[in-house]
Amino acid sequence: MAVDTTFRTADHLSLLEDAERYMPGGALGAFRLPDEVQVVIREGRGSRVWDVEGREYVDYVLGSGPMLAGHAHPAVVEAIAQQAARGSQFYLLTEPAIRLAQTVCQAAPCAEQVRFVGSGSEATGYALRLARAFTGRDKILKFEGGYHGVGDYALYSTSAHGDPAYPRAHAESAGIPRVLDDHVLIAPFNDLETTGRLVAEHAGEVAAAIVEPVQRCIPPAPGFLQGVRDLTREHQVLLVLDEVVTGFRLAWGGAQEYYGVQCDLAAYGKAISGGLSLAAIAGRRDVLALCDPRTAKSPNHVVISGTLSGNPLSAAAGLATLAELERPGVYDRLHAVGNRLRQGLEEVGRRVGLPLRAPGEGPVFQPLISAHPVTDARSLGMLDAKATQRFGVELVREGIMTNPGGKMYLSIAHSEADVDRTLAASERALRTVANL
């Protein structure tokens, strides 16, 4: 039955008013549900979340991706409870942190060592700092439309802004020092020729190329990632793969394994934290050696630190999550269920007569209404943004929790029945959009 979020109880509305009163935009961050479907969440279990009125939703926000094992997975809850009873923060080495580092090193092809940090933004920001120190160069190259968190270097051209000539960078936030405009080069995703030309033109200045292997929802064209690997190697530019989304999600060895690409450093977050605060820079021992605290007096020492880095509670939650993901068949099933949903959405689009696409991979993709195939930020920008957003809002009304206009994440708890329910809801939602 469709969820009607227009009738929120007085208590629910009062909570939302308090959110407005005490937090800018009534929001936790850059993301906020549109007013008409704004709700306060009370709890989650498996593939479902419930709002404070007890309305149930099949959840595809998934905490923005970390809850890959599903909400409140019993093994993760147990691991957190056991560690909490022993203490939740020491700033000293703990076994969960060491074992999590070991697990990442065993899983991630690039990982000889790991430095823990607090968030995905820190992981990408520090990976770029390491690359600048290692190469003695100041510039970084990123791809138009790629998102690497909120650091000053990262927050450039995260979407297309008209047709400026590459490599001109567009700052996405006020407050980013203008001097950085000249230190970030922008290349078109999936365009190896232009990327190669830019790297060659700026050889000797570029410390690192950073890439989301699946850029938002756009998979890499065959040969693209390998091509970027080859040309960065040719010009002694470090390749940083941002595996914050793809790590432990596309495969146990992340995008590195799934697409068969090697990198020098990788940023991890989301799934490795089990839903608590933890992220990591993984990669080459000789690069990570720059942040060895024993070299603090060296002129090339890179400072990477944080009070809660490698927090044992987060590490325990991460380890318990990864243990669930390591079970045989998990990734095949995750891809199969996700791909059935993606294909089902496109069929719904054909039945309703709107070009609904679901680019991405099984475990993470983005429904969008667009007449154009999506291969880079500029073609992504040609979508019908209003209709796409509306479709997402209607999905929430239908009891499908999603970030309207954003990505959908699957967990290992999502079932075929969830897919059936989501597809039925999608058809109703899309018909509403078509009739507007």
Ligand X SMILES: Cc1ncc(COP(=O)(O)O)c(C=O)c1O
Q: Which is nearer to ligand X, 97 or 281 (CB)?
A: 281
Helices (H), 238-368: 254-258, 285-288, 312-325, 330-352
Is 340 in a helix, a strand, or coil? Answer: helix
**Quick one: which segment of 93-101, 104-112, 145-153, 185-193 binds ligand X (CB under 6 A)?**
145-153
The yes or no reply on residue 244 touching ligand X (CB under 6 A) is yes
Q: Which is nearer to ligand X, 217 or 334 (CB)?
A: 217
| Residue 147 among the catalytic residues | yes
User: C-alpha distances in angstroms, 221 versus 189, 240, 252?
Assistant: 9, 18, 21
Q: Which is nearer to ligand X, 279 or 352 (CB)?
A: 279
The yes or no reply on residue 212 touching ligand X (CB under 6 A) is yes
Among 139, 142, 148, 342, binds ligand X (CB under 6 A): 148
Q: Which of 277, 275, 295, 279 is nearest to 287 (CA)?
A: 295
Q: Which is nearer to ligand X, 244 or 374 (CB)?
A: 244
Distance of CA 72 to the CA centre of its chain: 20
- One-letter amino acid at 206 equals V
φ, ψ dihedrals at 305, nearest 5°: -155, 160
Q: Which of 183, 232, 234 is nearest to 205 (CA)?
A: 183
List beta partners, residue 21: none
Q: Exactly one of 126, 153, 258, 270 is catalytic; name it.
A: 270
Q: Which is nearer to ligand X, 83 or 273 (CB)?
A: 273
The answer to whether 342 touches 422, Cβ cutoff 8 Å, is: no
| Residue whose Cβ sits closest to ligand X | 120
Q: Which of 148, 105, 99 is nearest to 314 (CA)?
A: 99
d(CA 425, CA 143): 35
Q: Which residue has the tokens 């075929």?
A: 416
Q: How far is the CB of 1 from ligand X (least distance, A)?
A: 32
- One-letter amino acid at 196 equals G
| Residue 242 among the catalytic residues | yes
The answer to whether 265 touches 283, Cβ cutoff 8 Å, is: yes
Query: What are the tokens at 219?
Result: 């998979």
| Residue 182 among the catalytic residues | no
Q: Exactly one of 57, 60, 126, 147 is catalytic; name it.
A: 147
- β-strands 368-369, 356-357 pairing: antiparallel
Q: How far is the CB of 365 from ligand X (least distance, A)?
A: 14
Q: Which is nearer to ligand X, 59 or 242 (CB)?
A: 242
The yes or no reply on residue 274 touching ligand X (CB under 6 A) is no
The yes or no reply on residue 190 touching ligand X (CB under 6 A) is no
The yes or no reply on residue 215 touching ligand X (CB under 6 A) is no
Q: How far is the CB of 118 from ligand X (least distance, A)?
A: 8
The yes or no reply on residue 259 touching ligand X (CB under 6 A) is no
The answer to whether 8 touches 37, Cβ cutoff 8 Å, is: no
Contact string (CB under 6 A) for ligand X, positions 104-143, x = contact: ---------------xxx--x-------------------
The yes or no reply on residue 245 touching ligand X (CB under 6 A) is yes
Among 59, 191, 205, 242, binds ligand X (CB under 6 A): 242
The answer to whether 205 touches 137, Cβ cutoff 8 Å, is: yes
- β-strands 400-401, 56-59 pairing: parallel
Q: Which is nearer to ligand X, 219 or 349 (CB)?
A: 219
Q: How far is the CB of 121 from ligand X (least distance, A)?
A: 3
Q: How far is the CB of 246 from ligand X (least distance, A)?
A: 8
The yes or no reply on residue 331 touching ligand X (CB under 6 A) is no
The yes or no reply on residue 149 touching ligand X (CB under 6 A) is yes
Q: How far is the CB of 117 from ligand X (least distance, A)?
A: 9
Residues 356-415 that bind ligand X (CB under 6 A): none
Q: Exactly one of 242, 264, 376, 418 is catalytic; name it.
A: 242
Sign of torsion, CA 365 65 267 264? negative
Residues 6 or more apart whose CB falls under 8 angstroms from that of 2 comprise 397, 398, 399, 425, 428
Catalytic annotation, residues: 147, 242, 270
Task: Note the residues at the interface with ligand X (CB under 6 A).
Answer: 64, 119-121, 124, 147-149, 212, 242, 244-245, 269, 279
